[in-house]
Each structure stands twice: as structure tokens, then as C-alpha cells.
Amino acid sequence: MKKLSKLLLVLTFALSISSSAFAVTVASWGGAYTESQKLGYGDPTAKKLGVPINWVDYSGGLSEIKAQKEAGKITWDIIDVFAMDTITGCDEGLFVEFDFDKDFPAAPDGTSASKDFFAPMPSKCAVGNILYSWNYAYNTSNVKGTPKTIKDFFNTKKFPGKRAIYKSALTNLEIALAADGIKPGKGGSKIYKALETEKGVNRAMNKIKELCTDPNGGCVFWSAGAQPPELLVSGEVVMATGWNGRFFNAEIGEGAPIKQVWDGQGLDYEYFVLVKGGPNEADAKKALAEMTSTEGLAGSAKYIAYAPWRKSSLKVMAKGEPWYKDGKTNMVPQMPTAPANTKNYFLVDPLFWADNGTELGEKWEAMKAGL
Amino acid sequence: MSSETKQILTTDGIPLEVSLKKAERKNKIKAFLLVAPLLLFLLITYIFPIGDMLMRSVDDKMVTEMLPKTFKSMEKWDGNEMPPEEVFESFYLDFQKLVEEKRDGKLSTQLNYTKNGFKSILKKLRRKAKNFEEGNYKEQIMDVHKRWANVEYWRAIKRRAPAYTSSKYLKGMDMYKNEEGKIVNVEEDRRIHRILWLRTLEIAFFVTLLCFLMAYPIAHLLATLPMKYSNLLMICVLLPFWTSLLVRTASWMILLQQQGVVNDFFVMIGLVPDDNRPEMMYNKTGTYVAMTQILLPFMVLPLYSVMKTISPSLMRAGKSLGGTPFVTFWKVYFPLTIPGIGAGCLLVFILAIGYYITPALVGGASGTLISNQIAFHMKSTLDWSFASAMGLMLLAGVLAIYWIYNKLVGIDNIKLG
């Protein structure tokens, strides 16, 4: 008996070594999101290529991969990162640069990969994965009337009550300007042009300050993605900005009395990057191409309300409606990139934030300290 | 009497003193070997990383090496007007070399730390520089982006010239060294770090005070109650200790928010009107309540361990000598508990000063503390040298408090259990 258990121990050890040598390791955010990635394209890709894919959780940022590299022992092949991190990581030489149309397959109708993706990549190291929205939602039982525009979010006369906004400057300055009357323009370029100037920044900060100090309004600052729906449902606030996938879960998944408003939404992105010198770079590259194919990206939208980066994936979804895993919810109208939802939107500009994030963050905190 | 006559020899003819020393040395080596693993462990996990942090926070060789020609030509430039053509030319040459080596990205990250806005203009410069004609680099570079024609950006480059710098520490105090070498404040609307330092100290101080006020009676009760009750009470103290920090924070949010359980109760018993509920969450009150509860066990346990050793007969003796209960408490009992108070306060204060998850969740507009800023620079901007500098400043603060404590109470008077 003892011998047998020893043998088993040795066997499992050997197995774990050999399997990890072939496997591709992907670091992502965990929770329902990683689940959607795993079921949507991870498992199908692993089956197709015959390469196991391990998913590990991390909490964002580049500090871990930088530390892995400095220690000379890289354990991740692919990382799911924000746009800013693809720029910083690419500049630091942590990630592999792509030859986009060669490394990624074209759409089924022959459109090249670079044209099929919703917007150009922020860096040569990035390949889009999902788009999510910074939109806002309101509690239908606490709000009289129906807020329709981003201006309504700031209109405390018509819709009195507290608002929940994100704790940092990111996207708050943009919606403040959009609500203050600046037309976002194509992809929000006009907003960012205004924010390049001192005047524009002050205008945005004042708009937020006005909302937060208004006796009919007031602000709650949220820091975790789960907070906005929770704050809405508990009645702590009447409106909240947040991530559309979280609102979707509360609204469709749990039947909470909340409704999303897409006007003035900010589209933000998740990307995959390939780690330079990762343990299994060659297989990882193949797996990455497979996961970000038209079918692959459409697959994840079955499990979560984030939009696939490829336009061709939306077509696959429209054909397969009701696409959501419950078998009765149409997913295309829930997509941040759906035509009905992108009448007035801005693309969160990662380069702008990479450029100005620190100083704007300091100004933002100083403004908050004066509330 | 000479020492020779006094010398005592052992049986094998060696002087006793030498022989004793030999034996003692053996013991010393043995003792050292015994603690060697711990020493090594401390060295590797504690002393070395702190030394590394210190180096990182002052080391600026990377940029110095990246732009050697630029810094050389900048030596003559006084920083008042736009730099001369010579500076532009050497900057162009340095930059082209970096582009070839694919290190221009690193430069843009570094320069962006000094002044925001460098990232995009360096990217643009890389694209445009391919088509540059020889000569008149000043005009060509200034044409790339209007920021290149702004003298502020060239001053920012010059500031990165020294191989070792105190700029990160100055930045942590919202200051920088200008062209004349004077230390000046940053613009008023960006002075945030000083606010954050003060806020962090304020919160840590009040949390420590609240913890002390609440823990003292509890610890006293624990120490004086009969065993079977005190054990139960002890479990009550420790139970929250075993619950996840986030769970406890979230529970406070549910309890204290405006539509929360406590407010509902107040409205029910008619204490407050329904349309004017007090705000107990998403402000400093929320932070104090949640952090005090979370850190309370760290105060209770050292206090308890000290109080347990105080013999009840001392209090009785005090009373029999004519002291009122208050006088005996104040003159006899309280001074004996000071080692526990010191240990508990130091523990809670040091833990509180580095807290950031709880304040970020429950603190609302005032929820950002200095550790949030450190985490931000560790994770998002990757400015590890700035994060190290702030970390060391925090460490220096803690050491200062330790020093003050040592002066006032004496560190030998500390008792952790």
C-alpha cells in the first residue's frame, strides 16, 4: 500500500511536470469573466490544437510579469491586460510585437484581421479580446421618468438623488465634458482634444464637483466592479456609472429593477498580449490566433455581456440568436458595439491616459479632497 | 606582582585563560550557527529588499546613460530660453540610437514620470524622425508636436541628467528642484501627496486611539473574568480575526450605508426622519468604524497578556492603603499595563498606516491614502522608484514613531505577550 502511494506520488509529479511543459498558461482576471473565456474559446482551442490551456488569476497591472522577468523565470504565456498596459509593456519590451494580418486569421468573408477589428490596436503587442462599456444605469423604482442621455445623469433637478461614480478620473472627465455639451465626435476625439487643454480639464472637474456638492445630488465613489449594481439595488444611489457586464448580470441574471443607458458610453477594451520568452511561446501564439478568431470571440459572448472585438463575430451571434446561455436572451442588443448603442459614444483613449494619467490623477485627488 | 606569576595553567600546560577562551569561542560559533539561518532569512527577505528599494529610489543612471550626448550639450544651457540647436541635434542622435536598440519606449516611460505628455510626443517623434533631413534639427523637432516647442519639456529632460537623484523623495512631498537648483512646490492644484500623508497619519492616529479606548475595558474584563466566561469572550474577540477582511468591510457597508440596517433601525424607532438619514458610510466615519473593528484584536491581545500577569492583590493592597478605586487604578493598575498599551498602540498604528483596501471601499472621497498611491505606482505606472521612495518615507515615519516611543516610554517596556 505504501509503495503504491509512493508510485502514485511520483507519477502525478512526473505528469504535472510534463503537462506543464506542453501547456499554455493564460493569466486573466478570474471570476465570471475567466469562466466565459475558458468556456467560450479556451476549451475549444485546447481541444482543436491538442494543447492544454491553464488559466491563472491575477489582479491586473504589469508588476507581476515585470518581476517574473527580472527574476528570470517567466511562467505566463499570454496575459489579459488593459490597453494602457499593452503600451507600457510593449515599450518595456515585455511582450511580443505582432505582424497583425499575418499572425491573425482573416474574417470568414475574407476581410483582413486589421479591418475586421473594431478599432486600431493601441500598440503593436496587442490583440483585441473584448470591448466593454462604461455606461450608466438607474434604479427604475427610485427614478421618476426615464433618463435617456448622459446629460440626464448630471441633471439633479429632473432626477434628484445621489450618483455613484468611479473613484478615479478615468472616464469621469470624459462623461463630464460630454454632458457639458461637447459632442464626442468620431470615437470621442473632440473630448480628448478638449482635455488636452487646462481649460477643458478644469471644465470637466467643475462639472463633477458641481454634481458632488449639489444638495439634490451627491456622489458615492465606487472602486470595485460589483459595487454599482449593489448601490443601485440597495437604493443608496439612484444612478451609477459602471461596467455594462455587471449591470447585465444584475438586470437579466438576477432580475433587479435596473435599466442601462447607452448614450455617452465610453468603450474600453481588454487585450491579449504574448509574453516575450514565455515558457511555451510557439504554442501560445497558435492558441492566441485561434482564440481571437471570429468564432472564438463570438463564443465568449455566450456567457457574458461583453462585445467581441471582431465585427464579424456579431454576425455569427445575430445568426445564432438567442445567443445567451439561458437560451432566451438576445445578445446583440446587449453588446456595447451594437449599432443602436453606439449612436453617441467615445473610445477610451489609452494613449491619452498613458500620457496624462498621473498628473490628472493628482488633480482629481486634489479636487476630491476639497469636496 | 607581574602577571606571569599569577598565570594559572591547566593540566596540559596551556594557560587557563587561553583554554577558557577557546572553549568559549566554540560555544560562540555554535550559537552563531544556531541563529545563522534566521539571520540569513532576515538578510534575504528584509535587509536586502529594503536596500534594493533605497537604491531604486535614488538611482537614475538609466536615463543618464540613454541620453549621454544630450546631457553633455545641455550643461551649457541655462534653462531659461529654448535650448540651442546643438542640444536638439544631440538629442536627435541619442534618440535615433535608442530607436535602433528598441529602447525608446523605456525612455518615453521614464520621461513621462518627470513630466506627463512625453509618451505621445516621443512616439510621434519616432515616426517623423525617419524622414528628417540633415541639419536644423531644432525646427524639425519643434514641428513634430507643439510640446517640443515648449521649454518646460526640455527643462524636464535636463532634470534627469544626474545619475543619482533625490527627485522622487521631493515628488513625494509635492516638490521639485528647479533650474536654479532651488526646491519649489509643484502647482497648487496638483499638491496631493502632502494631503495624503496628513490624512494617513490622521486616520492611523484616530484608529489607534479608538482601538485603545475600546480594547482596554475588554482586555480588563477578559483578564479578570473566571476562565469559563473569559474563554467565550476570547473567542468573540478572535472570531472576526478569522473572517476575511473583505467580508468584514462589505458587512460594514451593508450595515452603515444610508439605506442600511442601522439607518433603517434609526428610522424605525423614530430617531431620524426617513428623508434625512445620517451618512455613516463613504466618509471618514465609515473608515474609522470599519478599521477600528478590524484592528481591535491587535490591541486586545497584547493588553490582555499584560493584564493577566498583574496580581489582583496589588489592587487590594492599594485600596487597603486608603486609595479610592480610581486612585488605585490610576496609580497602581494603569502604570503596570503601559507595556501592553505600548505594544498594542504600536502594532495598530503601524498596521493602520499601511492600510488601503478598507478605506478605498468605505472612505468615499476621503478613501485614498498614501498606500493607495504606492500601489498605483507599483501596478499601473510601473514607476517603482517613486513607489520605493514613498515606501521608504513611510518606513522612516514608522521608525520615527518608534524612536519617539522609545524616548517616552522605553522600548524595554514593551510586551507583546
C-alpha to C-alpha distance for B120 and B406, rounded to whole angstroms: 51
Quote the pLDDT of residue A4.
Answer: 59
What is the signed CA dihedral for A243, A248, A253, A254, rounded to 10 degrees? Answer: 70
Residues of B in contact with A212 (CB under 8 A): 365
Residue A325 reports pLDDT greater than 90: no
pLDDT one-digit tens code per residue, B225-281: 998 898 999 898 888 888 888 899 989 999 998 889 999 999 999 998 888 888 888
The pLDDT value recorded for residue A88 is 83
**Cβ density class B94-108: b for 16+ within 10 Å, e for less:** bbeebbeeebbbbbb
Q: Which CATH architecture has domain B193-413?
A: Orthogonal Bundle (1.10)
CATH of domain A134-267+344-369: 3.40.190.10
Partners of residue A220 in chain B, C-beta under 8 Å: 282, 364
What number is the ipTM of this complex? 0.80
For chain A, percent helix, then strand, then coil, each to nearest 5? 45, 20, 35
Beta bridge partners of A136: A241, A261
What is the predicted pLDDT for the residue at A354?
85
Tens-place pLDDT, residues B298-319: 999 999 999 999 998 998 898 8
Which of A62, A358, A363 to mutate: most B Cβ within 10 Å?
A358
What confidence score (pLDDT) does residue B267 get?
93
> What pLDDT is attached to residue A11?
54
Q: What are the sequence ranges of the domains in chain B?
A: 16-58, 61-163, 193-413
Stated as kind and residue range, the H or E segment containing B316 is: helix B312-320
What mean pLDDT do residues A107-120 have?
92
CATH 3.40.190.10 residue ranges of chain A are 2-131+269-341, 134-267+344-369
Predicted local confidence at residue A18, as pLDDT:
45
Query: Among A87, A88, A359, whose Cβ lies nearest the Cβ of B190?
Result: A359
Here the cell at position B322 is: 486608603
Distance from CA of B275 to the nearest CA of A (A): 11
Q: Is any Cβ of chain B less than 8 angstroms from the Cβ of A120? A: no
Looking at residue A196, its amino acid is E
| pLDDT tens figures, A327-347 | 889 999 999 999 899 999 999
For the cut 50, the answer to whether the pLDDT of residue A130 exceeds it is yes
**Which residues contact residue B363 at a Cβ distance below 8 angstroms, ignoring those fewer than 6 apart?**
B282, B283, B284, B286, B287
3-state secondary structure of B362: helix
Q: In terms of CATH, what superfamily is A2-131+269-341?
A: Periplasmic binding protein-like II (3.40.190.10)
| Proportion of chain A above pLDDT 90, given as a percent | 76
Q: What does the pLDDT read at residue A19?
A: 47
Question: pLDDT class for B1, splitting at 50, 70, 90?
Answer: very low
Q: Does B109 touch chain A (CB under 8 A)?
A: yes
Round to whole Å and give the CA distance between B49 and B221. Answer: 42
The residue of chain B with its CA nearest to that of A97 is B102
pLDDT of residue A290 exceeding 70, the answer is: yes
For residue A93, give the nearest of A73, A60, A66 by alpha carbon: A66
What does A212-278 look like in DSSP terms, one character per residue? HH-TT--EEEE-STTHHHHHHHTTS-SEEEEEHHHHHIIIIIS--SEEEEEEEEEEEEEEEEEBTT-
- pTM of the shown model: 0.82
CA distance B167 to B389: 9
Q: Is the pLDDT of residue B10 over 80?
A: no
Percent of chain A clearing pLDDT 70 (strictly above): 94
- Across the range A243-256, mean pLDDT stands at 92
Q: Do A93 and B106 touch (CB under 8 A)?
A: yes
CB contact under 8 A, A365 and B368: yes
In this predicted structure, what is the pLDDT of residue A17? 47
pLDDT confidence of residue B417: 55
The model's pLDDT over B28-69, given as tens digits with 9 standing for 90+, comes to 999 999 999 999 999 999 899 999 989 999 999 999 999 999
- Strand-strand pairing, A163-166 and A345-347: unpaired
A358 lies within 8 A of chain B by CB? yes
What number is the average pLDDT over the span B113-136?
88
**CA-CA distance, B381 to B375, in Å (whole number)?**
10
The whole-chain average pLDDT of chain B stands at 89
* CA distances (Å), origin B131, targets A167, A254, B170, B354: 43, 58, 40, 51
Confidence of residue A8 (pLDDT cuts 50, 70, 90): low
pLDDT band at B131 (very low <50, low <70, confident <90, very high): confident
B180 falls in which pLDDT band (50, 70, 90)? confident
- The CA distance from B371 to the nearest CA of chain A, in Å, is 14
Residues of B in contact with A224 (CB under 8 A): 361
Cα B348-B351-B352 angle, rounded to 5 deg: 80
**Per-residue confidence at B22, pLDDT binned at 50, 70, 90?**
confident
